[in-house]
Amino acid sequence: AQSVTQPDIHITVSEGASLELRCNYSYGATPYLFWYVQSPGQGLQLLLKYFSGDTLVQGIKGFEAEFKRSQSSFNLRKPSVHWSDAAEYFCAVGVISNFGNEKLTFGTGTRLTIIP
Amino acid sequence: GAVVSQHPSWVICKSGTSVKIECRSLDFQATTMFWYRQFPKQSLMLMATSNEGSKATYEQGVEKDKFLINHASLTLSTLTVTSAHPEDSSFYICSARDRGPPYEQYFGPGTRLTVT
């Protein structure tokens, strides 16, 4: 069965510092991979996605992620974080369910705290 | 961009009563809608997938008689929690997709349900 692992439950970084959030997946087929951000009281917002092609994908808000098939990873990065980046981040893999529907399987999330 | 709304944003109900949560796609036609449940500090767990005009397909372990899903139009899906109990207290999130790129879902802001 498919799964997504986000090993870091909580990360704290200083404003202006670089950021890397880790994501590992387990899926037998070619994965569709996503990163979402969830701010308090708001829905999930798509940061970026990987379907195929260039393994380094650019997203919104200055985020990027790199797909590494050999490591089954899809880590999210940002060169310089802003206080507004404080939120919960979820990695997800798109799979086909037993019913033939598309579905997203999410990791447990990483909470990002930014300190001045 | 595609916007999904949920109503209410929070609700408190007494044990044994039923509560209905609405999910609307505001500016696109949602051929498929999804309902998720999110426990505090945990990931989103898919409860069910509903295609317009069809019965919802429920994930393993989700009681279909307790969580009634109706997707009667291309812009509206409802989740009714019947005979709610305190253990049903959770954050319920809906998402919707159109015939766009695979797996691309637009998420609502969520509904906080508290059963007393």
Q: Provide DSSP, B40-60.
A: TTS-EEEEEEEETTS--EEPT
B55 or A67, which is more confident:
A67
Task: Tell whether A51 lies on the interface with B, counting CB pairs under 8 A.
Answer: yes
B108's enclosing H/E stretch is: none
Task: Tell whether A108 lies on the interface with B, counting CB pairs under 8 A.
Answer: yes
Task: Tell whether A19 lies on the interface with B, counting CB pairs under 8 A.
Answer: no
- Tell me what pLDDT residue B33 has: 94
Q: Is pLDDT of A56 > 90?
A: yes
Nearest residue of B to residue A38, measured between CA atoms: B109
Contact B44 A106 (CB under 8 A): yes
- Whole-angstrom distance, CA of residue A42 vs CA of residue B112: 12
For chain B, give the percent of residues with pLDDT over 70.
100
Least confident of A17-31, A70-84, B96-110: B96-110
Nearest residue of A to residue B6, measured between CA atoms: A43
Q: Which two tokens stand for residue A44?
A: 């999930």
- Tell me what pLDDT residue A103 has: 87
Task: Tell whether B110 lies on the interface with A, counting CB pairs under 8 A.
Answer: yes
Residue range A55-64: mean pLDDT, rounded: 96
The pLDDT tens digits for B80-93 are 999 999 999 999 99
- Exposed e or buried b per residue across A66-81, where buried means at least 16 C-beta atoms within 10 angstroms of its C-beta: bbeeeeebbbbebeeb
Contact B102 A41 (CB under 8 A): no
Identify any residues that bridge with A30 across adjacent strands, giving them in sequence order.
none
A4 contacts A23 by C-beta, under 8 angstroms: yes
